[in-house]
Amino acid sequence: MAVIHKHSVTPTTTSSDSGGVQLRGTAARAVAVLRIGFGLTFLWAFVDKLFALGFHTGYDQTGTLDRFGDAAWINGGSPTEGFLAFGADGPFKGFYNSIAGAAWADTLFMLALLGIGLALTLGAAMRLAAGSGALLYVMMWTVVLPPENNPVIDDHLLGAITLVVLALVGAGATWGLGARLEKTELLRRFPVLR
């Protein structure tokens, strides 16, 4: 005879040292999967722009794919130029056109993709990753206003909101380094690194 155990799927919450809510059980694991998924999305964007692998980067003006070619950042390609120079529209078009392809903009963008991606994937420095990622998402939202599919909200704003929520619920503690790092002197001294 089989025994069926009833498991609660209601998340238990506790206050965390980081000032937010710490999820447990199934909810904590689900949020960890969401955090890792977002982290891998940022990391993939970094890798694709770094090497021009052809998933979003690596096509020339004729539409021909040139993997590891001139579009790759390692070969002098610009990860910001194409979209900011030719895709920008709306009230901030002039601003984005003016920084398209600038070395400092390319470098900051790539460092942001790498840093946010690593932090989210590893579950470390969630506050910095969430704040930086939310800012990057909002900036990407402002490149094309109004958004093409909805006059108010799109996936960039939803991504920004999600990153903030991930930081608030301590998403780095499950399947991440957040719980271990929380006990270090560095995080006690610099809580912004939580």
Residue 15 pairs in a beta bridge with: 21
pTM of the model: 0.83
Each residue's pLDDT tens digit, 96-114: 999 999 999 999 999 999 9
pLDDT score recorded for residue 19: 52
Report, as an integer, the average pLDDT of 82-93: 93
How do the domains of the chain map onto residue ranges?
18-58+68-193
Residue 65 pairs in a beta bridge with: 59
Q: Is 85 exposed, middle or buried (CB count within 10 Å of its CB: 0-12, 13-18, 19+)?
A: middle
Each residue's pLDDT tens digit, 58-87: 666 677 777 777 888 999 999 999 889 999
Each residue's pLDDT tens digit, 104-154: 999 999 999 999 999 999 999 999 999 999 999 999 999 999 988 888 889
Instruction: Indicate the pLDDT class of residue 7, thresholds 50, 70 and 90.
Output: very low
The letter for the amino acid at 142 is: T
pLDDT score recorded for residue 183: 81
| CA separation, residue 6 to residues 3, 10, 23, 140, 194 (Å) | 10, 12, 20, 45, 35
H/E stretch holding 14: strand 13-15
Mean of the per-residue pLDDT values of the chain:
86
CB 32 within 8 A of CB 166: no
Top-confidence residue, 9 or 22? 22
pLDDT score recorded for residue 9: 46
